[in-house]
Each structure stands twice: as structure tokens, then as C-alpha cells.
């Protein structure tokens, strides 16, 4: 039975959510040098648009068929517990606040780069902005309202956790060309997507 337009849109939405979540999980595990990080549901009854951390790093991924804003929400203490090894430090308290923020900006950049690569491999060219850092309070001005006209729009909220370190993630997705995005339905998310790179970060 052939899928209707609404069914196809739902499948595309689900696929974009899965790719985004797993791409960011992959980058967090790789660049924190900690494979124990896993996707999980938020511990509390949270919704997109609420303040989810003292800070957030964000980046825009866009093309003719898709626009996506990705945000990583965090507290500096949690970042320092995973980032110190990337700087060659021996303990989290050796990291400055600026270094922790730079780590999350670069993590945002690398996560978006992973997404762009996946979409380009499926004939969906996308570009990306430079990552930005903002106060977590600014999240209350974000709009995650779902829509179907003039284009499909939806938001997502998830978290990545390892022991006591938890990072909240949100995204706002706007589907501008459903037909072009049909290719992404064929993409299969690998069980382990981390590339065989050296795991090093080039801080912006």
C-alpha cells in the first residue's frame, strides 16, 4: 500500500529526529572520550522553550529543502567533567569557563557537520552557520510551535546522559520541500556512527 502525503511527512519527521539525536550522541561520545553517554528521556517533565541550562550553544543548518536550529543546553560544571581531557588537563577544575564554553561551541559545530555530511550523502546539500553561545534564559524567546502551513515545522527535546552528567538538546526543524527529503528515508542509522578520526577538536 502506497503511503499518503501525511504518512510520508510523519516518516520524514521521525527520520530527521533520529538522525539528529544519534549524530549528536555520536559526537558527544567521541569528543568526550567517553562511550558511556547514551540518549535518554529527560528526567523531568520538560518542554522545548523552557530554560534548560545556564548556557546554550546553537547552530543553524539550512538548505533549499530544510532548515534546522540545534541547541545544546548545559551548565559549566557538567561540561568541565567531560571536556578536560580534550584540553589535555588532568582534572575538571583545571578548565576555565571560557574553555568549557568553547568546547560546547565546537561540539555544536562538529554535530552539525556530521548532519550535513549525512544529508549530502543522500543528495540533500545543506550549509551551516558558525556556532554561537547564549545565556540559557534566552530560550524563553524561542518558538517551537508546530505547523503544517506554509511549511512543516516541529520541535524536539531530548537528553544525553552519563552518570551525573546530563546535557539537554533541542531542535527546531522546518521542512521546506517534502519531496526532496524523501531520499533521507533510505538512510539507515549505524549502530556505532563514530568515524575513525582521531577524536581531536579544533576550537574556533
The string of pLDDT tens digits covering residues 154-196 is 999 999 888 777 889 999 999 999 989 988 998 998 875 445 4
Torsion of CA 125, 155, 99, 135, to 10 degrees: 130
Model confidence pLDDT, tens digit, residues 95-149: 999 999 999 999 999 999 999 999 999 999 999 999 999 999 999 999 999 998 8
Task: Give the pLDDT band (50/70/90) at residue 202.
Answer: low
Question: What is the spatial distance between Cα 46 and Cα 172, in angstroms, rounded to a whole number?
Answer: 16
Instruction: Check residue 149 and give left, alpha or beta (phi > 0: left; psi -120 to 50: alpha).
Output: beta
Domain boundaries, the chain: 5-185
For the domain made up of 5-185, give the CATH fold.
Chemotaxis protein chec (3.40.1550)
CB 83 within 8 A of CB 99: yes
Given CA atoms 103, 90, 162, 55 in this order, what sign does their dihedral have?
negative
C-alpha cell at position 65:
529543502
Amino acid at each position: 500500500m502506497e503511503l499518503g502525503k501525511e504518512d510520508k511527512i510523519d516518516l520524514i519527521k521521525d527520520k530527521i529526529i533520529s538522525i539528529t539525536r544519534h549524530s549528536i550522541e555520536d559526537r558527544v561520545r567521541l569528543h568526550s572520550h567517553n562511550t558511556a553517554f547514551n540518549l535518554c528521556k529527560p528526567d523531568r517533565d520538560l518542554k522545548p522553550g523552557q530554560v534548560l541550562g545556564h548556557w546554550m550553544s546553537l547552530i543553524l543548518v539550512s538548505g533549499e529543502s530544510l532548515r534546522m536550529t540545534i541547541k545544546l543546553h548545559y551548565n559549566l560544571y557538567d561540561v568541565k567533567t567531560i571536556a578536560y581531557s580534550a584540553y589535555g588537563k588532568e582534572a575538571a577544575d583545571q578548565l576555565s569557563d571560557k574553555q568549557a564554553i568553547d568546547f560546547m561551541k565546537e561540539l555544536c559545530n562538529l554535530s552539525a557537520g556530521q548532519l550535513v555530511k549525512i544529508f549530502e550523502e543522500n543528495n540533500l546539500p545543506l550549509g551551516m552557520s558558525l556556532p554561537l553561545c547564549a545565556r540559557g534564559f534566552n530560550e524563553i524567546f524561542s518558538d517551537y510551535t508546530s505547523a503544517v502551513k506554509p511549511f512543516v515545522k516541529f520541535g524536539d527535546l531530548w537528553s544525553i546522559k552519563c552518570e551525573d552528567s546530563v546535557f539537554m538538546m533541542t531542535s527546531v526543524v522546518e521542512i521546506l520541500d517534502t519531496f526532496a527529503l524523501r531520499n533521507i528515508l533510505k538512510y539507515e542509522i549505524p549502530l556505532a556512527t563514530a568515524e575513525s578520526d582521531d577524536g581531536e577538536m579544533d576550537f574556533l
